[in-house]
Structures are given as structure tokens and as C-alpha cells.
Amino acid sequence: MERLSLNQKTVDQWGVRQVVDGCARAGIGAVGLWREPVADIGLEKAAKLVRDAGLRVSTLCRGGFLTAADPDARAAALADNRRAIEEAATLGTGVLVLVVGGLPAGDRDLPAARRRVADAVAELAPHAQAHGVRLALEPLHPMYCADRAVLSTLAQALDVAERFPVDRVGVAVDTFHVWWDPQIDAQIARAGARIATYQLADWVLPLPADVLLGRGYPGDGHVDFPALTAAVGAAGYTGDVEVEIFNADVWAQDGDEVIATVVDRYRSLMS
């Protein structure tokens, strides 16, 4: 339980204050925050709320969307990511998750988009270092390759991350995105100290009409959580374990019930 973190997207029906209160009621010591709900109540206020509650902030979600070829769009994305780094520092988390972005409209050159991501990370890394924030490159499931993340495998995220010092650029390992990968055990072992966050959600079928919302409670789907968790542990990761579920049915539930289910699943799958 000491390592369980509630990613606030799991209780998207709640704002930051409710999430903080809900974690306190459930005895959860860490929270993963998102920039939009943080902005809703104000950055400084959010930072004070989590600090006063004694909560760790495991990660801030998210920066990224770094694939623009257009110079103005690229400059805007870099500026936004610098702000995200600063927000992470203000919130007291050492990890900013990057969802790197898909193909620009009408652009089919995946290798070039992937190169632009690596170049952008190189531009952001010094700013992250200056603020004590580590960038966590998140490979997303290949079904999001066109529109959300041209980094589709852990191997690919590591290929970029390894160009930088291990404490500056890491990777996010999210079970929903990587469970299918035939190389996953080897790549988790390779990742080792690059693992900046470990996130749990299950692959549940059928996929909903909006595949972004297909993430299920751990245990409801096809992911082998004990195997992946063992691999992440064997790689040396001892940090927070975030439960991050995007699911319209979950969002329609009472937030405290959602947390109770999260705690229950976490206990049964991580023991």
C-alpha cells in the first residue's frame, strides 16, 4: 500500500480537492496529477493542497505532443513543455510524463516524426534538469500511433531515453500500453533504472467506441499483472505504482467506490 498512487484520471469525476480528500480517506499516500484539473483550481493552490495533505505527487501528466514539423507549432509545443516542467517542480514531483504526439495532419512520415521527438527531448532535457524534473517517455499502444504517440514500444522509448543521463530522461511503463509486446520482459530488464513510473490499467474487451477510454480496473481483463510487476521489480524499480484508468463507466461511479476497488485490486494483484 505504501507504493500505491492514485492517478487522478481514474477519478475524473473529481477535482483536485476531492482527489486529495479521497486519498486521505482511503489512506493512499501518493497521487498522479494532470495539468488541466490542476489549472482548474490554480497551480499554487493545488500544490498547497497536496503538500498540506502530506501526499506525494508521483507524476504530472503530461507534456509531449512534440511531433509538429511546422516551426511555429514546434516552438509552441516546446514552450508548453517548459511550462509543464515548471509546473511539475512547483507540484513537488520529480516526474513529468510525456505523451509524444502522433503524425501531423496529412503527414505519413513516421521515421521523421520520431526523429523530431528525439530532437525535442534534447531541447527540453536541460530545462528539466534545471528544475529537478525527470522526463518520462511513455510508449503508447500502437493503436494510438497515428494520433497520440509515435513511440509505440518500450524499446523505442529506450532508444531515445538512452541518449540522455539516466536521471534526466526515463520511461513510463504502463501495462495497458505494453502488455502485448513480445519483447516486454527483455525491454523492462533493459530499462532498469530508466523506469520513472509504473502504471496499471487492464486491457478489457470489447474496446469502447472511443478507444482512449478502454482502460479497465486491473484484474478485469487480459493483462498478466503479476508477471509484469515481477519484471519491473526485478529491473530494480521501487517507486510508486500508479493506477490510471480512463473509463466512462468508472467515471460514472462514486469516487470513493472507485478508490475502494482500486485498493482492493492493487492488494490482490501486488501481493
Residue 213 found at the interface with a second copy (CB under 8 A): no
Note the Cα 112 to chain centre separation in Å. Answer: 24
How far apart are CB 214 and a second copy at their closest, in Å? Answer: 9
Distance separating alpha carbons of residues 114 and 70, to the nearest angstrom: 15
Q: Which residue has the cell 532508444?
A: 159
Residue 265 found at the interface with a second copy (CB under 8 A): no
Bin 27: left if φ > 0, else alpha if -120 < ψ < 50, else beta: left
Distance separating alpha carbons of residues 237 and 269, to the nearest angstrom: 17
CB 126 within 8 A of CB 134: no
Angle in degrees, 0-180, between the axes of helices 110-130 and 71-91, rounded to the nearest 10: 40
Residue 109 found at the interface with a second copy (CB under 8 A): yes
Question: Which one, of 55, 47, 59, lies nearest residue 2 by Cα?
Answer: 55
Residue 42 found at the interface with a second copy (CB under 8 A): no
How far apart are CB 99 and a second copy at their closest, in Å? Answer: 15
Q: Determine which residue in the list 43, 155, 166, 213 makes contact with a second copy, applying CB under 8 A.
A: 155
Residue 156 found at the interface with a second copy (CB under 8 A): yes
Shorter beta-carbon distance to a second copy: residue 153 or 197: 153
136-145 burial: b if 16+ Cβ within 10 Å, else e: bbbbbbeebb
Q: Which residue has the cell 509538429?
A: 68
Residue 152 found at the interface with a second copy (CB under 8 A): yes
Q: Judged by CB under 8 A, which stretch of 135-143, 192-200, 248-256, 257-265 contacts a second copy?
A: 135-143
Residue 203 found at the interface with a second copy (CB under 8 A): yes
Residue 103 found at the interface with a second copy (CB under 8 A): yes
Residue 198 found at the interface with a second copy (CB under 8 A): no
Residue 229 found at the interface with a second copy (CB under 8 A): no
Residue 145 found at the interface with a second copy (CB under 8 A): yes
CB 253 within 8 A of CB 5: no
Shorter beta-carbon distance to a second copy: residue 205 or 252: 205
Residues from 114 through 133 that contact a second copy (CB under 8 A): 114
For binding to a second copy (CB under 8 A), which residues are involved?
Answer: 103, 108-110, 114, 141-143, 145-147, 152-153, 155-156, 179-182, 203, 205-207, 209-211, 221-224, 227
